[in-house]
Structures are given as structure tokens and as C-alpha cells.
């Protein structure tokens, strides 16, 4: 199932009138989420909205509602005009079908907008930033890049793109993604969690309602947990049973437990496919000196976006017939 029938159209969607696209709004939301809002730390000052965070979030929320409202209405009309039984073509169709059925908790347009906003905000930047980190590390470690390209050539061949069904046969690709997420987890402090009740962790008393941050960035660099923790060394995962599902606390890029990332399966397969195909189809060379300085907000990304040159490895015609 895909997120949208015309994902590209949706991302560039702007309702008639206002000149903003969904992608631009999502990027602004992610930027806003990363701001340390003084009012959150000193509630007495919250009403002043000193940095304009509340005002900005209201404007963004209105824009999102306008865009999603229009997309939902367009799709409803299109479904009315579809012949015969309505087949669920994509995720929005599934939600609309669910909303038109009698359910214990009715699904309204507000719910649908919330789910879509979560999916777009949670799913776009996270995967793209992970791929950018992986590519930057591969450019810094050409032997690792070559080893991955060799794995892809031998398992996939040179006449087609990498597909989801290949990933199980690509252990080095999976190891590279784990190593990238160990060193560069997109959400370095996950998202804030609240203790529902008083508890003890490692002998420390945690009062109820305490806001807890889990520093997975630091865990990935912890010398008591990892050998040569700062070295980009995917081979460490080749013969290890550590996975990304939240069961191994030394590697938690998707969090763990009930509030772990619900988009894990989609996100990880996006990362595998994007990264694998980028290095399968192209050879890469950095255009500027590689700079892996991190920029911390709610997400941790490259401070200076990666600029790299791609040269086609596989004959273009072959790939075009594949896509």
C-alpha cells in the first residue's frame, strides 16, 4: 500500500489561492518542533509566547487543514464518480472507507487529517536524513561503499533496480543502515516521554509526571557498550543479533515499547531501497570537502547538506524499462 496515489502531486499540493505546498508546511513544522520554547520550561511566561511558537503553530495548523481538507474532498468526489464498488487504492482510501462505515469510535475528517499529518511529518524527513547520513559516511569510507556496491552487483545484478524482496539477501546493506542509525539516530533524544507513575530506574527515584528523554545518540557512542564506538564500522553488525525493533536497548533509533515508532516497517524499507538504489545505480564523489558536523534540534541532521556528484553505473535504458 502506498501513502498516496500521487504522492508527488500531494507533496506539491497547494489549495487554490494560498501559495504554499504541503512539503513546505511539513518542513516548517519540523523546524518549529525543534525550537526550545521558553514557555514550556517557564509556564508563567507561556501566555506571552515570546518566540511566537504558538502563533506559528496555529498558522501552520490552519494551512495543514486547508491542504488536507482539499485533498480529502477531492478524493471523496473522485470516489463518488468511480464505477461500481469502491476499491481502496491507497491509504487515504482505506481511511475514507473506514470513516464511512459504522465504527464504535467514528472516524471524522479531523482524525483523518491528524493521521495524515502524523504520517507525513513522521515519515519524510526521518528517512531522508538517515539516507543522507548513510551516503555521507559511505563517501567518507570508500571501501565500505565499494563492498556494498559489490554485494548489490552480485545479488541484484546490473540490469535492474533493487527491490524490497532483495533486502533479505543484502546483509551488508542492513548492517550499514544499522551502523548509520547507531551513530546518527535521527531523533537523538527520541520524543519526550512522561512517567505515568512514580518508579525507580537504576536506583534513582522518578516521580510521577517526570518528563524523560532517552539519549539514544549517547548510547550509540558509549564505549562501555560498543567497541570503537565512534568508528563507522558496519561489519560489527554482520554477526550480531541486534535488531532495530526496540528489543535491544543499545540500539533504539525507533524507540521502544508502546510509543515506539509505528512507521518502522515503512521507514526502514524506504531507507533500504533509497540507499541501495542510489549506490547501485550511481557512483558517488563528494563535490565539496566532506563535513559531517551535526546540527541538533528535535532531529539531528548534517549541519551542511551533503553535496555529491553522481555518475551512472548501470545503463540508463535498462533502468528506465524497469521503472
Give the nearest distance from C-beta 309 to ligand HEM in angstroms: 25
Give the nearest distance from C-beta 258 to ligand HEM in angstroms: 7
In degrees, rounded to 5, the angle at the alpha carbon of residue 215 between the alpha carbons of residues 292 and 177 is 50
Q: Are 10 and 276 in contact (CB under 8 A)?
A: no
Q: How far apart are CA 111 and CA 105, in angstroms?
A: 11
Nearer to ligand HEM, 206 or 260 (CB): 260
Quick one: angle between helices 109-140 and 264-281, nearest 10? 40
Give the nearest distance from C-beta 312 to ligand HEM in angstroms: 26
Binding site listing for heme: 261
Give the nearest distance from C-beta 79 to ligand HEM in angstroms: 22
Give the nearest distance from C-beta 216 to ligand HEM in angstroms: 7
Nearer to ligand HEM, 258 or 316 (CB): 258
Give the nearest distance from C-beta 211 to ligand HEM in angstroms: 12
Q: Which residues bind ligand HEM (CB under 6 A)?
A: 118-119, 122-123, 126-127, 130, 186-187, 190-191, 253-256, 259-263, 266-267, 271
Q: Helix, strand, or coil here: 204?
A: strand
Binding site listing: 261
Nearer to ligand HEM, 1 or 311 (CB): 1
Q: How far apart are CA 42 and CA 45, in angstroms?
A: 6
Q: How far apart are CA 209 and CA 198, in angstroms?
A: 8
Helices (H) and strands (E) in the chain, counts: 11, 8
**What are the distances in angstroms from CA 186 to CA 31, 131, 252, 255?**
14, 10, 11, 11
Q: In the block, which residue shows the cell 558496519?
A: 234
Nearer to ligand HEM, 37 or 127 (CB): 127
Nearer to ligand HEM, 18 or 305 (CB): 305
Nearer to ligand HEM, 125 or 151 (CB): 125
Q: Which residues make Cβ contacts (< 8 Å) with residue 252, sequence separation at least 6?
A: 185, 190, 214, 216, 219, 246
Amino acid at each position: 500500500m502506498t501513502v498516496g496515489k500521487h504522492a508527488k502531486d500531494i507533496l506539491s499540493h497547494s489549495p487554490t489561492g494560498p501559495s504554499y505546498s504541503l512539503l513546505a508546511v511539513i518542513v516548517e513544522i519540523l523546524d518549529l518542533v525543534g525550537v526550545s520554547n521558553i514557555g514550556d520550561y517557564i509556564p508563567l511566561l507561556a501566555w506571552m509566547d515570546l518566540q511566537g511558537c504558538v502563533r506559528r503553530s496555529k498558522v501552520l495548523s490552519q494551512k495543514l487543514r486547508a491542504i488536507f481538507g482539499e485533498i480529502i474532498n477531492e478524493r471523496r468526489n473522485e470516489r463518488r464518480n468511480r464505477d461500481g464498488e469502491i476499491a481502496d487504492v491507497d491509504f487515504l482510501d482505506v481511511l475514507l472507507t473506514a470513516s464511512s462505515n459504522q465504527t464504535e469510535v467514528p472516524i471524522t475528517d479531523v482524525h483523518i487529517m491528524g493521521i495524515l499529518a502524523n504520517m507525513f511529518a513522521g515519515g519524510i524527513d526521518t528517512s531522508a536524513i538517515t539516507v543522507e547520513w548513510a551516503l555521507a559516511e559511505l563517501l567518507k569510507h570508500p571501501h565500505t561503499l565499494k563492498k556494498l556496491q559489490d554485494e548489490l552487483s552480485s545479488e541484484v545484478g546490473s540490469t535492474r533496480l533493487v527491490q524490497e524482496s532483495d533486502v533479505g539477501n543484502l546483509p551488508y546493506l542492513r548492517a550499514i543502515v544499522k551502523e548509520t542509525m547507531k551513530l546518527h539516530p535521527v531523533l537523538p533524544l527520541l520524543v519526550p516521554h512522561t512517567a505515568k507513575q512514580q518508579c525507580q530506574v537504576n536506583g534513582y527515584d522518578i516521580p510521577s509526571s517526570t518528563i524523560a528523554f532517552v539519549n539514544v545518540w549517547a548510547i550509540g557512542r558509549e564505549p562501555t557498550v560498543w567497541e570503537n564506538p565512534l568508528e563507522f564500522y558496519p561489519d560489527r553488525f554482520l554477526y550480531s543479533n541486534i535488531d532495530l525493533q526496540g528489543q535491544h536497548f543499545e540500539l533504539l533509533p525507533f524507540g521502544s515499547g508502546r510509543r515506539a515508532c509505528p512507521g518502522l516497517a515503512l521507514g526502514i524499507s524506504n531507507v533500504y531501497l533509497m540507499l541501495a538504489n542510489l549506490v547501485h545505480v550511481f557512483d558517488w564523489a563528494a563535490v565539496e570537502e566532506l563535513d559531517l558536523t551535526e546540527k541538533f534540534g528535535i532531529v539531528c541532521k548534517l549541519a551542511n547538506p551533503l553535496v555529491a556528484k553522481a555518475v551512472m553505473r548501470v545503463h540508463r535504458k535498462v533502468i528506465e524499462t524497469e521503472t
